[in-house]
Amino acid sequence: MSTTTPTTSPTSPEPTERPEDSSTGLVHKPAASMGLRIMATQGLQQFPEALRKLDPRHMWRSPVMFLVELGSLTTTVIAILDPSTFAVSLAIWLWLTVIFGNLAEAVAEGRGKAQAASLRATRSDTVARLLDDSGAETEVPSTQLKVGDRVVVEAGQVIPGDGDIIEGVASVDESAITGESAPVIREAGGDRSAVTGGTKVLSDRIVVKITAAAGESFLDKMISLVEGTSRRKTPNEIALSILLVSLTLVFVAAVATLAPMASYAGAPQELVVLIALLVCLIPTTIGALLSAIGIAGMDRLVRVNVLAMSGRAVEAAGDVSTLLLDKTGTITYGNRQASEFLPAPGTSPQELRDAARLSSLADQTPEGRSIVELALTQGANDGDLPRGAAFVKFTAQTRMSGVDLADGTQIRKGAGSAIAGWLGSNPDPEVSDAIDGISRTGGTPLIIGLKDAAGRTTVLGVVHLKDVVKQGMTERFAELRSMGIRTVMITGDNALTARAIAEEAGVDDFLAEATPEDKMDYIRKEQAGGRLVAMTGDGTNDAPALAAADVGVAMNSGTAAAKEAGNMVDLDSDPTKLIDIVEIGKQLLITRGALTTFSIANDIAKYFAIIPAMFVAAYPSLEGLNVMGLATPQSAILSAVIFNALIIVALIPLALRGVRFRAAAATDVLRRNMLIFGLGGVVVPFIGIKLIDLLVSTIPGIG
């Protein structure tokens, strides 16, 4: 599965941060080193914010880190009352543990605030031309607009608020929101009527009905989300927090019980040692990084121009098992394109090719242009324009286009019935068989007919038009299938056409001649089987299904009803973005699981560092458990505490960037995580604590 690469836009200020090559999955060293430099710079910038987060009113939201802060405060008091190198060192590193945990969250939030500042730069208070019931205009500040107000916007003016076009059609520059420089067409009466406040009208005049009050626009929602001000813990995050609190309570009880047992055994322990043991045993690593992982997941969505209304939607995307995808514009290019020329008996392929090209030069529809392009790829001469020729444009009434040559010859291209009426006869059986064959495969046949100067008529052959499946879609669907995700194509085509496209694209199922009710029924049936469903849509008729789906991605170009019904909005209006959203959701879940595995696994080394150090004086035989060969009990305890703090800093980049996603079955992902993060979580602390001990043991009063 290719890695999603952020576009350069106001919502993605650091396009170089993701170091992975989208085609190879390799990490380029220059990009990786640049990412580390950016991370270091962000860490220094956000360090004051990490200190401000030491406020207990903030810390209590993370019970694990709040307990570490209480331990740090207690150790500090002890170090002041009974100073020693060991106690002071412990106090310093315990405080650093808390600060480093806050730093992870601060850096994640700092990225969002940088994006929000960029977004605010695109938002300005504009003067709106408000229409009253009589049609008279009044200029008012955009901040005073209410839902239902109608405003006039002309070429060169900024749209004052989110709304739907109710009159007119215009070319709109949406680069301030999407980062794409190419203008888009927005018009009344269709599924592309929605406009966003802050974008600019480039041509014509439109009347917009405001659908969002000031402060509640999609731009305002995006700003609050990327800043983290409206972020709430997701269900999975809450569940993991409960698990972490439960583990913490277990270790608190264990350490509290250990104190009297140690005294009874003749090896009483200092309070600072018990605090150090507790901090090292509770899941501080994942407790410190949990919030940053969630914020970074939202951040990655924003960087691909997707606005998620909640973190719940991001998590649901990671658990999706059924994808409903529109055929047109998602799986196919959306316009039927010429795929082959089928000459009639007695007509050469070159003759049909050239006749098809000449008869399509005046047809400016996508189908007509595709016929010209196919003819050129098969060797037609682009400069071959007969003198004195009169070209006949395609119209919906005639359903034909063509050319009248100077010698009286006429060539026409069009639908079968239109050409038959023009020729005054039906095509030969061989041509009819070709037409039927194209129709059975879901294609569209166009007939090329000729009348010579004497009035004799001939059918030269047939052009096969077909929905062209986008390049790479088959491979992407295969990768989704390997992950256990089922793909379903939704189309209004008949079942025959739908089946042909579905087989070519490689989707698992299709829903033909789909109505809004059909979509709803399909979603409910999937959900009744315990599966999470995601779908895209842009029209008012898609709103019920978008609301029913677990992940409903509405196109920004769609109607306000669709955007209100969905729980995500794609600002680029790219239906294929749904596949990228699923990847980001899975990456979020994989990252959280991987770092949780690592956090729990790295406690093993701390047992071998601290437990022998605490009781070796009373039980010398415990020296055999000192497998790392740590210098002294004090250096062993301090080394474990230092490693516990430093590993948080080391994992911040991974928490923010996310564990690289690879399309694979759940069992393969679990096996990979256990090998890398489970085994790594066991081995790395042994090496790290030993290296730290070599340095710490040189400190007077410790070694």
Tokens of 643: 């490693």
Residue 574 designated active-site: no
Point out the annotated binding site for Mg(2+): 538, 542
Parts of the chain belonging to CATH 3.40.1110.10: 335-468
The CATH 2.70.150.10 domain(s) of the chain lie at 127-226
Q: Do 538 and 568 meet the contact criterion of CB atoms below 8 Å apart? A: no
Which strands form 200-201's sheet, in the order they lie side by side?
184-187, 169-173, 200-201
In the predicted model, is pLDDT for residue 5 greater than 50? no
Check residue 12 and give its pLDDT: 36
Res 305 pLDDT > 70: yes
What pLDDT is attached to residue 29?
38
What is the band of 316 on the pLDDT scale with cuts at 50, 70, 90? Answer: confident
| Cα distance between residue 558 and residue 490, in whole Å | 17
Q: What is the pLDDT of residues 383-422, one digit of tens each?
A: 778 888 899 888 767 788 999 998 899 999 988 888 888 8
DSSP state, residue 403: E
Poorest-pLDDT segment among 172-186, 468-482, 653-667: 172-186
Of 149, 326, 603, 693, catalytic:
326
With respect to CATH, is domain 335-468 assigned 3.40.1110.10?
yes
The whole-number average pLDDT for the span 288-298 is: 84
Instruction: Render pLDDT for 147-160 as a digit per residue (tens, 0 to 9).
Output: 889 999 998 888 88
Contact criterion met (CB below 8 Å) for 339 and 368: no
Phi, psi for 184 (deg, rounded to 5) = -125, 155
Higher-pLDDT residue of 6 and 428 is 428
Average pLDDT over residues 563-567: 83
pLDDT at position 9 is 38
Cα–Cα dist 284/44, whole Å: 22
Would you tell me how many other CB atoms lie within 10 Å of the CB of residue 284? Answer: 27
pLDDT of residue 36: 52
Q: What is the pTM of this model?
A: 0.66
- pLDDT at position 37 is 60
The string of DSSP letters for 146-177 reads: -TT-EEEEETTPBP-S-EEEEE-EEEEE-HHH
pLDDT score recorded for residue 31: 39
Q: Which of 240, 314, 327 is nearest to 550 (CA)?
A: 314
What percent of the chain has pLDDT above 70? 87
State the pLDDT at residue 119: 60
| Block residue for tokens 């989208």 | 22
Average pLDDT over residues 243-252: 90
> What average pLDDT is seen over the chain?
82
**How confident is the model over 15-73, as pLDDT tens digits?**
333 333 333 232 333 434 444 565 567 667 788 888 888 998 888 888 999 999 999 99
pLDDT at 649 over 80: yes
pLDDT digits (tens, 9 = 90+) for 517-561: 888 899 999 999 888 999 887 777 778 888 889 898 888 777 777
Query: How distant is the alpha carbon of residue 591 from its chain centre?
Result: 15
Architecture of the domain defined by 127-226: Distorted Sandwich (2.70)
Q: Is the pLDDT of residue 3 over 70?
A: no
- Of the candidates 188, 155, 184, 150, the residue with the CA atom closest to the CA atom of residue 169: 188
- Taking CA atoms, 344 is separated from 143, 328, 349, 379, in Å, by 66, 31, 9, 19
CATH architecture group of domain 321-331+470-571:
3-Layer(aba) Sandwich (3.40)
Q: How many helices (H) and strands (E) does the chain have?
A: 24, 22
Which residues of the chain does CATH 3.40.50.1000 include?
321-331+470-571
Highest mean pLDDT: which of 213-227, 280-294, 492-506?
Answer: 280-294
